[in-house]
Amino acid sequence: MIYNEPSPLEVKVISQRFTLPNSAAIDTYLATDGYLAVKKALGMTPEAIIDEMKASNLRGRGGAGFPTGMKWSFVPRKTDKPRYIICNSDESEPGTCKDRLLMENDPHQLLEGMMIAGWTVGSNKGYVFIRGEYRYLIDIVDRAIAEAYERGFLGKNVFGSGWDFDIYTHTGAGAYECGEESALLESLEGKRGIPRLKPPFPAVVGAWQSPTLLNNCETFSAVPAILRMGGPAYAELGTPKNGGTRLFCISGHVNKPGVYELPLGFNLLRMIDEVCGGMRNGKKLKAVIPGGSSSPVLKAQECDVPMDFDSMAKLKTMAGSGGVVVLDEDTDIVQLAMRTMKFYQHESCGWCIPCREGTTWLKKILDRFHEGDGRSEDIPLIGELARNMLGRTFCALGDAAAMPTIGFIEKFRDEFEAHLLKTQDPQSPELIVL
C-alpha cells in the first residue's frame, strides 16, 4: 500500500514497484528485474562488487551517511568465524517512515540486497531486525522469506552457486536505542539493549563476536538497483560523493506530506513547493528539521539548500534518516523542543548519567517552561545541560537529544524569551528582562 500520491518529480529507483498491484509478491518482483542483480553478483568477485558499491557513492541511509562500499570492505573475509548480515529496520527516528514502505511494498528488494551483501562478505546468515511496533511488517517479510525459500533462492546452494544463505526476522521490543547498531546487536543476542563500546566496530566484532555487516533497510534496498545499473550510473543520479536517490519522508505543514524518492541534492525549497504542493493554508515557512528529530533545525532562510549529507553538514545539521519536518510560522518552537525532549527522555537506555539524567531534567524543565511556569534561568540551563551531553555521552543518543535542543535554543532563543515574557506574571519580582 502506498500512503501518498507519487510526485512527477520523483526518480524512482527503489520505490519503482510501490504502485504495482501485489507489489510484495515474489512473482511481481521477478517480473520486474527481481533477483537479476544477485545472479549477476554471484558471477562477480567480492572485490568487484565492493568496487561497484564504492563507485555508486551510496551512503548509509540509517542516519550517519557512512559510505556503504567502504563499510563493506571493512568486513574481514579471511577469518574462520561466521559473518553476519544485519538489516537495521528498527526505524524509530521521529519523522522517519521509509523502511516501513520498503518492507511493506518491496520486501524482496531488501532480501536481494542482503543476499548480495552476504555473498560479498562471505556470510551465510542474515537477520532483519524489525522494530516491535511494526508487527504487521514482520509477517510480510516472513512471507517474502518463505517465498524465496520455496523458489530455492534462499537456503542451500543459492542459484546453484554452492553458497548457502539464510535470512531470519527478529523483532525489537520497542526501544529507539535498539536502532543504534551496537545496542541492536545486544538486543539481537538476547541481552539488555544498551550500547557497546566502539571500537571494535561491528564490522570486526559484531554479533556473537563475529564480523557483522550492518546496514539500514534502505541502504540494502538500493543495492540490487546499483548492481543492475552499475555504480557510476547510480552515483550520477545524485551529487558528488552523495550518490543516488533516497526516500525523503516529508511531514509537517505542507499540502502533500508523504514519502518521495528524490535524488540526493534535491533543493529543499523545491521539495516543499514543487513536490509537496507548498505550505499548508498558504502559511509562511518558519523552519525545517531536515533529517529526523535528531538533526538541528534549519531556519527558513537557510532552506534554499541541496539536500545531501555534505550540504547539511556545512549547515551544522544532518541529512540523517531522511525525515524532513516542515514547520510553518505558527509552530510553537518551545512546544516542539519540549515534545522532542519527551521522546529522547523516554528512550534513553539509562546506561550513562549525562543522557539519563540530562534528558530527564531537560524534559521536566521544558515541560514546565512550556506550561508557563518557566524561570529566566531555565534558558541558559537548557543550553548548559544539552551541551553537557554533546559528545560526552556513551552513545550517540545523547547527542541526538542534545543537538536539536541546542539548535532550538540558539536559533530561536527569541521565542523562548518571548514565551517566558508572555507566561510570566509581569508583576512578578522574579521577572528579569532578558
Partner 1 sequence: MPVEIDVTTVYIEDRPYPMDPEQNLLHQCLSAGFNLPYFCWHPALGSVGACRQCAVKQFKDEHDKHGRIVMACMTPASDGTRISIKDSEAAAFRAGIIEGMMLNHPHDCPVCDEGGECHLQDMTVMTGHDYRRYRFEKRTFRNQYLGPFLNHEMNRCIQCYRCVRFYREYAGGADFNSFALRNLVYFGRDKDGVLENEFAGNLVEVCPTGVFTDATLKRHYTRKWDLEFSPSICTQCSLGCNISIGKRYDTLRRVVNRYNGEVNGYFLCDRGRFGYEFVNSERRIRQSRLRTEAIGPDAAKRHLRDLVASNPGVIGIGSPRASLESNFALRALVGPDRFYAGIPSSELELLRLMLDILRSGPAGTPSLREVESSDAVLVLGEDVMNVAPRMALSLRQSVRQQPIEIAKRLHVALWQDHGVREVLQDAKGPFFIATSSATRLDDIATECCRGAPDDVARVGYAIARALHSSSPEPQDLADNQRAFVESVTNAFKMAKRPLVISGASYRNIGIIRAAANVSRVLPGATLSFITPECNSFGLAFLTGTSLEAAIKAKPTAAIVIENDLYRRLPAPEVDSFFSQCAHVVVLDHLENRTTTRAELVLSTATFAEADGTLVNNECRAQRFFGVFPPSETIRQSWQWLGEWENLDRVIADMSGGVPGLSGIAQAAPSAAFRMSGAKVPREPHRWSGRTAVLANITVDEPKPPVDLNSPLSFSMEGNPDQPPAALIPFFWSPGWNSAQATNKFQEEIAGPLRGGDPGVRLIEAGQGEGIPMASRAAESDEDARLSAPNRDRQGADAFNGALFASVPSAFQPRENEWLIIPLFHIFGSDELSRAAPAVAQLFPDPYLALNADDAAKFGAEASVMGRNLPVRVTPGLPQGVAGLPSGLPPLEGIMLPAWSGISRI
Ligand X SMILES: Cc1cc2nc3c(=O)[nH]c(=O)nc-3n(C[C@H](O)[C@H](O)[C@H](O)COP(=O)(O)O)c2cc1C
Candidates 69-77, 153-161, 390-398, 409-417: pick the segment binding partner 1 (CB under 8 A): 390-398
Question: Which option in partner 1, ligand SF4, ligand X, none does residue 98 bind, with CB closer than 5 to 8 A by kind?
Answer: none
**Are 294 and 400 in contact, with CB atoms under 8 Å apart?**
yes
Among partner 1, ligand X, ligand SF4, none, residue 357 binds (CB under 5-8 Å by kind): partner 1
> What nine digits make up the cell of 349?
537506555
Number of residues lying near partner 1 (CB under 8 A): 38
The least distance separating ligand X from the CB of residue 202, rounded to whole angstroms, comes to: 9
Query: What does 92 interact with, of ligand X, ligand SF4, partner 1, none (CB < 5 to 8 A by kind)?
Result: ligand X
- Estimate to the nearest angstrom the gap between the alpha carbon of 98 and the chain centroid: 8
User: Is the Cβ–Cβ distance between 287 and 297 less than 8 Å?
Assistant: yes
The item of ligand SF4, ligand X, partner 1, none sharing an interface with residue 358, based on CB under 5 to 8 Å by kind, is partner 1
Residue with cell 547539511: 312
Q: Which of 141, 142, 125 is nearest to 208 (CA)?
A: 125
Compute how many residues bind ligand SF4; rule: CB under 6 A: 14
What mask, x for binding ligand X by CB under 6 A, covers residues 409 to 428?
--------------------
In angstroms, what is the minimal distance from the CB of 363 to partner 1?
A: 10
Contacting partner 1 (CB under 8 A), which of 138, 235, 352, 396?
352
Site for partner 1 in 138-177 (CB under 8 A): 175, 177
352 is a site residue for ligand SF4 (CB under 6 A): yes
41 makes contact with partner 1 (CB under 8 A): no
Side chain identity, residue 384:
E
Tell me if 381 contacts partner 1 by CB under 8 A: yes
350 binds partner 1 (CB under 8 A): yes
Nearest distance, CB of residue 409 and ligand SF4, angstroms: 19
| 263 touches ligand X by CB under 6 A | no
Interior CA angle at 430 toward 424 and 432, to 5°? 80
- Partner from ligand SF4, ligand X, partner 1, none contacting 66, C-beta within 5 to 8 A by type: ligand X
Please identify which residue in 57, 109, 120, 219 interacts with ligand X, judged by CB under 6 A.
219
Contact call for residues 358 and 398 (beta carbons, < 8 A):
yes
Find where cell 553458497 sits: 163
Question: CA-to-CA distance for 32 and 42, rounded, in angstroms?
Answer: 19
Q: What is the CA radius of gyration of the chain?
A: 22
CA 428 to chain centroid: 46
CB nearer to partner 1: give 205 or 262: 205
Please report where in the chains the cell 550520477 appears, as a residue. Answer: 236
Element (H, E) at 307: strand 306-307
The one-letter amino acid code at 41 reads A
Q: Which is nearer to ligand X, 90 or 261 (CB)?
A: 90
| Nearest to ligand SF4 of 173, 434 (CB atom) | 173
Please identify, using beta-carbon distances, which residue of 220 and 351 lies nearer to ligand SF4.
351
Dist. CA 128–CA 13, nearest whole Å: 22
Q: Which residues make up the interface to ligand SF4 (CB under 6 A)? A: 177, 195, 348-352, 355-356, 393-395, 397-398
